[in-house]
Amino acid sequence: MKMRINLFQESGTLDNRAIGAGVYIVELRRENEEQPIPLYIGRSVYMIKRSGEHLFEFNDAPEYFGLETLDLDDKKLELYFRILEFLPNATKSELREKERYHIAERNPVTQFSSSDWQIDDRLKVVKDKRAELWETNNSE
């Protein structure tokens, strides 16, 4: 796999808050493109553990985040995990509420806007969003 994975890195080191509870986002970024594509927003009492599970699924099936197997060999692409809110004292219901708030605010393309469930046709929506944001910028 040539695609880069950034798992909660801040200035080259792990953002220690990822060990705890909070809400995180997974974005698709491309070299020389300013605007990332928000793919997924999640919540966990151990964000780094849950993100590791996401990566395991993604490695087996890139369509988990709306990508194709060929995308794994694109060294210009990066799967970027970052914390949206660190909530070390939040209850599970508070985490869920914050997650839904961020989903509604940021509209990750692989999720329904009203819940944390992922949509079925992730490949198409990610492909369409890439064309909208990135390919149109390159044609200027």
- HEC states along the chain? CCCEEEECEECCEECHHHHCCEEEEEEEEECCCCCCEEEEEEEECCHHHHHHHHHHHHHHCHHHHCCCHHHHHCCCEEEEEEEEEECCCCCHHHHHHHHHHHHHHHCCCCECCCCCCECCCHHHHHHHHHHHHHHHHHCC
Q: Which residue has the tokens 């793919």?
A: 39
Residue type, 28: L
Report the C-alpha gap between 29 and 19 in whole angstroms.
23
pLDDT at 140: 44
CA 85 to chain centre: 14
Q: What is the mean pLDDT of each run of 10 residues along the chain (140 residues)?
A: 93 94 98 94 97 95 94 96 98 96 94 78 93 72
| Per-residue confidence (pLDDT) for residue 120, from 0 to 100 | 85
